[in-house]
Amino acid sequence: MSKNYHVVPHEGGWAVKKEGADKAGSVHHTQKEAIDTGRERAIRDGGELVIHDRDGRIRDKDSYGNDPNPPKDTKH
């Protein structure tokens, strides 16, 4: 199973869903709370955090695994 976590819009807030899961692992009032939870899980599992905007489009990604050929970080 994938180690990627997605922060997605959810009824009344934001959800953290593990990639491939049918249901949200957790639901939060704010996107920041969901991002913090998703980041903790991605770091723990050595995966990737994928953050979506309100329309469901991907707005950001952060990798926390061991990548032998990491891309150059252009965000920072």
Give me the DSSP letters along 48-63: EEEEE-TTS-EEEEEE
Could you give the strand order of the β-sheet that contains 26-28, starting from the edge strand earlier in sequence? 26-28, 13-18, 5-10, 48-52, 58-63
Task: Provide the whole-model pTM.
Answer: 0.83
Q: Alpha-carbon torsion 24, 28, 29, 34, what sign?
A: negative
Instruction: With a cut of 60, say whether residue 1 has pLDDT above it.
Output: no
Q: Report pLDDT for 15.
A: 97
Average pLDDT value for the chain: 89
Phi, psi (degrees; rounded to nearest 5) at 35: -65, -45
Which of 34-38, 43-47, 54-58, 70-74 is predicted least confidently? 70-74
For 43-66, how does the pLDDT look when each residue is reduced to its tens digit (9 = 90+)? 999 999 999 999 999 999 998 877
List helix spans (H) across 1-76.
Answer: 31-45
Q: What is the pLDDT of residue 73?
A: 63
